[in-house]
Amino acid sequence: MLERFLIVEKKINPMKKLMAIIFLTCSLPCFCQDEDSLAEKGFDPTNLFTGGSVSVNLGGYNNTFLAGVNPHFGYTFSRWIDAAAVINFQYYTTRDQFNNKYRSTTYGLGLFTRIYPVRFIFLQAQPEYNFIKQKFIPFSGTTSKDNINAPSLLVGAGYTSSRSDKNTFTYLSILVDVLKDINSPYIDGNGNLIPIIRAGFNIGLNRNRNRR
């Protein structure tokens, strides 16, 4: 009974952490607006942006391959902070030293906050919750399938091409999942972090309104 309780506790704690992180991620832009943005009261449609990224990870001693796409839609809160909702799709495959294969397809939702200490560099925090379809293909034996869920917290940094408040730019980032949930799509079979390299673009919306 005690072992069962400990297992349940391990499953609950990451979810509680994720909910707290999501709350902080959503709240941070509201507290971090600069004086210029506060002076412009109300919703400004020229601050909306969209875009997306592609993530790829190759290699490793266990023949790991990871690829994903991540469209986003968000709002610029100030000259140095953006926030957005993200859709996550990812495919992952690996093979161990015994030639057993593992494959997974991941669908998820997340939120990111990006802080720009300078115009061309950003720091990013992105809580996610993912739904994962798994397939295990042994070298000999029967293939098995399973569906699992996992919270993640991706943190890292990136480089942009001349970002401004309402600019369109490209970026390159590297992130890792610091929650390291046992079911996370961002760790390998040995519990090691898989660096997530994402190349993407950002497009400012409604920019023509400023020219009228």
Q: Does residue 13 lie in a domain region?
A: yes
* Token pair 């968000």: residue: 74
40 vs 195 pLDDT, higher one: 195
The pLDDT value recorded for residue 141 is 83
Q: Does residue 148 lie in a domain region?
A: yes
Residue 5, pLDDT > 50, answer: no
* Token pair 């920019």: residue: 207
Residue 143, pLDDT > 70, answer: yes
- Running DSSP on this structure, what letter comes out for residue 161? S
Q: Does residue 106 lie in a domain region?
A: yes
Number of structural domains the chain divides into: 1
The pLDDT value recorded for residue 40 is 54
Q: Which domain holds residue 140?
A: 2-207
User: The whole model's pTM is what?
Assistant: 0.75
Average pLDDT of span 80-100: 91
Query: What is the separation of C-alpha 107 from the centre of its chain, rounded to a whole number of angstroms?
Result: 12
Cβ atoms of residues 66 and 76 within 8 Å: no
CATH code assigned at 111: 2.40.160.20
Mean pLDDT, the chain, whole residue set: 81
42 vs 15 pLDDT, higher one: 42
Instruction: Tell me which residue of 106, 98, 94, 103 sits closest to 132, measured CA to CA.
Output: 106
Q: Does residue 172 lie in a domain region?
A: yes
Q: Does residue 212 lie in a domain region?
A: no
